[in-house]
Amino acid sequence: MARAGLTPQAVVDLAVGIVDDEGPDALTLAKVAQRAGVATPSLYKHVDGLPALRRAVETRATEDLARVLNAAALGVSGDAAVRSLLTAYRDHVRTHPHRAAMLAGAPAPDDPAAQAAAASSVASLDAVVREYGASAADRIHLIRTLRAAVHGFAVLEAQGGFGLPQDIDTSFATLLDVLVAGLAPHRRTA
């Protein structure tokens, strides 16, 4: 018997909870069904199997990151915007470390929701890089650089990859300084 109120959105909510609690490898239909209080086959009324559910969770993780980055970009510009966005990214991964693995892949070209989420997640970075005066082609490379640097740092930190006793916040501040300095050659001089 299906639990009243179970919807595709509720199934994704439950799946995100599993990822947050146990990591993406722990996500199974059986665990979602158990949390929903239904038999596993009942989930197929709401999702088209585990791969589709995994894609929906990835999309949700990307949408959540996009909201965080868009909020971090409000009211700031230039170097301060870069620092704000990348700090917000790091903080988001600290808060949701298991979701980070779900942010790494490119969205499927035949998945409009995933495409929209991905576009939204880089929109704030694109706006900041555009403000420096970078060309359209250079903006892609700069966005990739910023994203790779902050994602890599945040994931290493979340996984305990910085074992030396030196302060991690100082290391992150150094990363921000290096990245902001790297944007300087693209700054408009007019």
Q: Is the model's pTM score more than 0.85?
A: yes
- Over 90: is that where the pLDDT of 108 sits? no
Q: How confident is the model at residue 1 (pLDDT cuts 50, 70, 90)?
A: very low
Q: What is the pLDDT of residue 4?
A: 56
Q: What is the pLDDT of residue 104?
A: 75
pLDDT digits (tens, 9 = 90+) for 63-104: 999 999 999 999 999 999 999 999 999 999 999 999 998 887
What region, left, alpha or beta, does residue 133 occupy, with left being phi > 0 and alpha being psi -120 to 50 degrees?
left
| H/E element, 134 | none
- Over 70: is that where the pLDDT of 152 sits? yes
Residue keyed to tokens 């790494």: 104
